[in-house]
Amino acid sequence: MIELRNHPAQARHPITQEPLLYDDGKPVPLITDQRSIYLDGYMVGYCHASGSWIAFIRDLPEAVQDEIRKVVTDTLGAVQRVNTVPTLAQRTIDELDDDEQEGTDDGIEG
């Protein structure tokens, strides 16, 4: 199940630093122009309140990303940009490329 919720950062009173709550007891969000994206109860990314962008914080299959994009578009508006998390394999390749470019010694003899 895909849910769009307020950003998890909560506003605080400027003097007492106590969390601010609405009359119904729900927290007042600190960041009002972003929503967090939850998949089966786990936060997997953020999106703009207008739906214009999505930033994933978890590596998700493309089909799942497409479904999330559809929910965001249907709920908030057309998604124009999606940022994804590099896969572990891609990060490893990028790190190896960086090491080669910098001439980093990987500690392997021979």
Element (H, E) at 43: strand 42-48
Tens of pLDDT, residue by residue over 50-83, are: 999 999 999 899 999 999 999 999 999 999 999 9
Distance (Å, whole) CA 65 – CA 54? 10
From 75, 77, 84, 62, select the one nearest 5 (Cα to Cα): 75
The pLDDT assigned to 31 comes to 93
**pLDDT band for position 45 (cuts 50, 70, 90):** very high
Q: Give the domain ranges of the chain.
A: 2-85
The pLDDT assigned to 2 comes to 97
